Amino acid sequence: MRTQPAASDVRARTGEAPAVGLLYPGSSAADDFPRLEERLAGAVRLPLVHTSVGEDAHRVDALLDLGSAGRLAEGAAALTAHEPDAVMWACTSGSFVFGWDGAHEQAAELSRAAGRPASSTSLAFVAAARALGLTRVAVAASYPQDVAEHFVGLLAVGGVEVVALGSHGIVTAAEVGTLGRERVVEMVLDGDHRDAQAVLVPDTALHSLAWLDDLEDAVGKPVLTANQVTVWEGLRIAGASVHLPGLGRLFRP
């Protein structure tokens, strides 16, 4: 039986831009992605579907519901019209609260629902850290401490030690989305540690894609943000180039 070629193979032959489909809960910093798409002048397509949200709360029970299989399957169905090459669950807390094994199973279920390679922002952080050879990092988290510690645990299983954890106790994604450039730079500076090889900023509700080079200049080391690693991982699992300008050390050759 003949099989249809993958969308990524067709795009590679025709020179079309790769498409990373994003499942994004709510809308707090969703505008980061179309702005990036515009800035890159068509080098990447980032079709986005807003997944349903029960309660906007950085609380474990609410986050388990946020990342439930039903919500992601519904979003994956809506993404099919965009013919993505890969699909990303663009949410850190709604993936790391499931733990290492649970986050992988979540991504596998999403891949089955979408019929495409799939991953999540939490797993993207580990993949990005490995790509840069990072083993010791600082985390500048917007979340309450108990939620942020789940991220630390996932990183540890992935072979990344957190030498400093800064948590800012922000309870809702809506509030995180209001933080501007100066506040984000301040968060990264406050979260840095002399023993850290990089600073990780794990919240897709936080705007960051326009400021990545500024953030790295501020601390003098790589900075990995949630929206940045989400795009990078989507391109990586789609088999597309991850070399793009203005997106920090992670995207440089």
In a domain, 100, yes or no: yes
Within 13 Å, how many C-alpha atoms sit on residue 10's CB side?
Answer: 8
Together in a domain, 213 and 155:
yes
In a domain, 2, yes or no: no
Together in a domain, 240 and 164:
no
In a domain, 118, yes or no: yes
Share of the chain above pLDDT 70, in %: 94
Together in a domain, 102 and 178:
no
Together in a domain, 103 and 135:
no
Domain count, the chain: 2
In a domain, 185, yes or no: yes
Q: Whole-prediction pTM value?
A: 0.92
Together in a domain, 82 and 135:
no
CATH value at residue 12: 3.40.50.12500
Residues 58-77 pLDDT 10s: 888 898 888 999 999 999 99
Together in a domain, 219 and 246:
no
pLDDT higher than 90, residue 8: no
Together in a domain, 167 and 243:
no
In a domain, 63, yes or no: yes
pLDDT higher than 60, residue 1: no
Residue 175 or residue 94, greater confidence? 94
- pLDDT score recorded for residue 169: 79
Complete DSSP assignment for 99-146: HHHHHHHHHHHHHHHHTS-EEEHHHHHHHHHHHTT--EEEEEESS-HH
Together in a domain, 75 and 173:
no
Q: Which helix (H) or strand (E) holds 51?
A: strand 48-51
Together in a domain, 219 and 233:
no
Together in a domain, 133 and 117:
no
Averaged pLDDT, 149-153: 96
Together in a domain, 14 and 108:
yes
Q: What domain range is 136 assigned to?
A: 125-226
Task: Find out whether 192 and 199 touch, Cβ atoms under 8 Å.
Answer: yes
pLDDT higher than 90, residue 10: no
Together in a domain, 112 and 175:
no
In a domain, 233, yes or no: yes
In a domain, 1, yes or no: no
